[in-house]
Structure 1
Amino acid sequence: MTACAIETAAGDGGPMGPAPAGHGAFTITANGAYAARLAGSGDALYVERWTLDGPEPYAVPLPLAQPEEPGTMLLPLADGRVLACRAVDGRRHTFSLLYPTGPETGEMVLGSVEAPAPGALVLLPPSPDGICAYAMCAGPDSTTLWLVAGGAFGPEPVAEIRGHCTGGVWLDRTGRMLALDRRLDDGPVKAVAVDLERGGEVTPLLQITEDSDDRLLLADPDSGLLLLRSDAPSPGHDRLGWGVLGSLLPVRFPECLRLDDAAVTPFAVQPGQVLMPESCGVALRIDAAAGSWVGMWRPSSRRMHHLAAPAGWLAGSGLWTADGVLRLPYATAGAPCGLAALEEPADQPVPEPEPVPEAPKVCRPVPLQQAPLTDRKPAG
């Protein structure tokens, strides 16, 4: 499993949050087998599905008679179909599944959802089960989660959550536990765990300080590694930090992840490092005035490696292999469907333990003892 994230300005006034999967986004399934994006240019946009788990990646165009709008959101499923979410008249969103049928593109219409306001509906990241797809409608006082694919009767609401929610990170491999960043009234943003099998039961997830904005960016179920963004170390200024799912150890904010003249965003975590969060490789997108490049870092190291991205990188997307190779998708005129392999430099220094910061005081930074994440049977 590979965790992926693409970020942009958040709707709740926060600094960063997942971007809608529209034009320019490249979304990968949780198992890394397929991906989808909007290809083409100008008024001739179409859905393109990538197959990533074969000897070489290849792309299959899925055009329809009507070109896609730039705001069409896409989500690939584990069976190779692609969910398309299209906005109609601003607030109404239609959902359909696209798939290749010989030389043509098949389309299965699923239904529609009315959002409370334009732009209020977003697709959540691909579910770990590879079958279901979810959308989130965030209003000022409550947020509705919709099952938009994988159900029996088309789009159906599965949870109503008090507060305005953004983000979206899966915490397990069954598609049951979802983390959202929630703001209640005018209070701070706090990541919470949502149990989809218990009607959206909400429990605390991150609580670094009472007044800090604590957002979850990525989670790896194998190791328990969490990547988060918080202003706890310096109110008003967000920092990247890491913690461990279920641990009472303080969240740490490495200095090497803090760049004064660039934005740093994690987008993938190395899988397979069972119970070894410090050993997980983390891939980061770095955006500065000079362009975008890739950072590679492990919690056990006090250094982040900076590497050039391949030409045509679909920035903010990629997947790790279990043996530590980072694969980055790219598209150029000469190579419209490619995966570049990046490995950590061999001359990295011997890792040193990171000291626990003395300030700010961290009170129950990852209070997972309160969240229903253990001793649960997989969803049946």
Structure 2
Amino acid sequence: MTACAIEPAAQDDGAAARTGSTTGPGSGPGEAGGGFSLAADGAYAARLAGEGEARYPERWTLDGPEPYAVPLPAGQPEDADAQLLALSDGRVLIGRRVEERRVYSLLYPSGPRTGEVLLGAVPDGPGAGGAVRLLPPSPDGLGGYALSAGERVSTVWRVTGGPGGPEPVAEVPGWCTGGVWLDGSGRLLALDRRPAGGGPVKSVAVDLGRGGEVTPLLEIAESSDDRVLLADADSGLLLVRSDAPSPGAPRLGWGVLGSTLPVKFPECLRLADAAVTPFAVQPGQTLTPEACAVALRIDGASGSWVGIWRPAERRLHQVGAPAGWQAGAGLWSREGVLVLPYATAAVPCGLARLARSGPPEPAPDGVRPAAERPARGPSTTPAQAEGAEREPQAGAAATVGVCRPVPLQQAPLTGRTA
């Protein structure tokens, strides 16, 4: 990849882009909430603006000549734990905690006021077995889903986009977290599940078009925790985190949906004293996952900045983020331009473009790959869930015991119900 520079963006380049969302430090792309949420097509965004006890929802319009924000205040300030989801039609889904329920509404501008459509509630207390949180926006742009995690059973709720109010659409045995869409229609959802009786975390695919049928998706080693962080339907690129190559120290890896080749764990993605989390994948790279640009949020002691990486290059480019970056949020254009939303006192609603020309902005000092040697093996198509490849140690190739792969080759998923 050529050198990059961050420039202000006068307009959005991501009409057909993959997006990420953030809820705060340490959040992954599979979590929505009160931070910053991008609609599936990148046309709108939403965040919980304000400070202290004066918080209110704010909608950003990103697909016009210049980005602008519209406040959507309700009759009273919002709590800090209010959850937001931007939809592609310009409405904002909000989930407010009321006693032991999560109450959902759709917000939209209506003249000088805020229009609101009450949708209904989902149990969100001790009786529900755990907190309810919004999942990333459905790829169709209009569906809003929530996950209620329970000790023995977790439930996927369709909050909006259905015939009525909130309704359960899938029940998955065990405690589930994460939430990554695997296709472009909003039918296949990856969840990270821990069995009710305890044990390692494994990712499963939930087919919402078949009554919530559950299929094993990712199992690298029998005792490893294997989580799906991000997926791209165009290329099949899958970003995962697993401790299979180094027990007790989860690492970031990549594979390809539908393939039986091993997951790769590039050494360049393992940084000393910094956490690395993918949040956006370049769209439009059909059947060429090695060429996809991946944007990563890097969190260190000095703050958060941006990493750019392609599987074929096996090198991580680190660049400074714009001031006021909504950390962990961004979108790619098909041409490979990364757009990052930011807000400052001078620019309350802005977009910065990570261009392909000019000198790179330096990342914070002292943050380098944990090992400088290159990852072993060719840079051609590695893939999904058969095994994990460790980096060479003293010239010897270390291997990891693997389980039988369960690749996601096509939908609908049949014959492999968990």
TM-score under structure 2 length normalisation: 0.82
Equivalent in the alignment of 1:182: 193
Change (3 A) 1:71 1:367: same
Sequence identity percentage: 61
Whichever residue aligns with residue 122 of structure 2, its letter is: V
Following superposition, the deviation at residue 287 of structure 1 comes to: 0.8
Following superposition, the deviation at residue 40 of structure 1 comes to: 1.1
Whichever residue aligns with residue 187 of structure 1, its letter is: G
Equivalent in the alignment of 1:378: none
Equivalent in the alignment of 1:239: 251
2:26 is the counterpart of 1:26: no
Equivalent in the alignment of 2:76: 66
Change (3 A) 1:268 1:38: same
Cα separation, 1, equivalents of 2:21 and 2:345: 26
Following superposition, the deviation at residue 171 of structure 1 comes to: 0.4
2:101 is the counterpart of 1:107: no
Partners of 1:5 and 1:218 within 8 A in 2: no
Whichever residue aligns with residue 85 of structure 2, its letter is: L
- 1:96 equivalent among 82, 89, 105: 105
Partners of 1:243 and 1:366 within 8 A in 2: no
1:163-202 to 2 correspondences below 5 Å: 163-184=174-195, 185-202=197-214
Partner of 1:368, secondary structure, is: coil
Equivalent in the alignment of 1:320: 332
Following superposition, the deviation at residue 55 of structure 1 comes to: 2.1
Partner of 1:44, secondary structure, is: coil
2:20 is the counterpart of 1:4: yes
Following superposition, the deviation at residue 305 of structure 1 comes to: 0.5
Partners of 1:247 and 1:367 within 8 A in 2: no
Partners of 1:248 and 1:365 within 8 A in 2: no
Cα separation, 2, equivalents of 1:30 and 1:19: 14
Whichever residue aligns with residue 361 of structure 1, its letter is: V
Following superposition, the deviation at residue 363 of structure 1 comes to: 3.5
Partners of 1:36 and 1:75 within 8 A in 2: yes
Partners of 2:184 and 2:233 within 8 A in 1: yes
Whichever residue aligns with residue 137 of structure 2, its letter is: P
Once the two structures are superposed, what CA deviation does each residue of 1:204-262 show, in whole Å capped at 9, x if it has no partner? Answer: 11011111100000000000000010000011110000000101111000010001210
Partners of 1:249 and 1:365 within 8 A in 2: no
Cα separation, 1, equivalents of 2:86 and 2:340: 17
Equivalent in the alignment of 2:237: 225
Unaligned runs of 5+ in 1: 376-380
Following superposition, the deviation at residue 290 of structure 1 comes to: 1.4
Cα separation, 1, equivalents of 2:359 and 2:52: 45
Equivalent in the alignment of 1:253: 265
The number of equivalent residue pairs is 366
TM-score under structure 1 length normalisation: 0.90
1:113-124 to 2 correspondences below 5 Å: 113-117=122-126, 120-124=131-135
Following superposition, the deviation at residue 288 of structure 1 comes to: 0.7
Following superposition, the deviation at residue 159 of structure 1 comes to: 1.0
Once the two structures are superposed, what CA deviation does each residue of 1:288-311 show, in whole Å capped at 9, x if it has no partner? Answer: 111111000000012101101000
Whichever residue aligns with residue 101 of structure 1, its letter is: S
1:1-380 to 2 correspondences below 5 Å: 1-6=17-22, 18-22=30-34, 25-89=35-99, 91-117=100-126, 120-184=131-195, 185-344=197-356, 353-354=378-379, 357=390, 358-361=397-400, 363=402, 367-369=406-408, 372=411
Partners of 2:132 and 2:148 within 8 A in 1: yes
Following superposition, the deviation at residue 58 of structure 1 comes to: 1.1
Change (3 A) 1:335 1:9: closer
Cα separation, 1, equivalents of 2:200 and 2:316: 30
Following superposition, the deviation at residue 136 of structure 1 comes to: 0.7
Following superposition, the deviation at residue 119 of structure 1 comes to: 5.5
Unaligned runs of 5+ in 2: 1-16, 361-374, 381-388, 391-396
Following superposition, the deviation at residue 342 of structure 1 comes to: 0.4
Partners of 1:3 and 1:218 within 8 A in 2: no
Once the two structures are superposed, what CA deviation does each residue of 1:329-352 show, in whole Å capped at 9, x if it has no partner? Answer: 00000000000000356899xx99
Whichever residue aligns with residue 107 of structure 2, its letter is: L
Whichever residue aligns with residue 53 of structure 2, its letter is: D
Moved more, 157-166 or 108-117: 108-117
Change (3 A) 1:190 1:52: same
Cα separation, 1, equivalents of 2:258 and 2:57: 40
Equivalent in the alignment of 2:367: none
Following superposition, the deviation at residue 75 of structure 1 comes to: 0.5
Cα separation, 2, equivalents of 1:54 and 1:206: 40
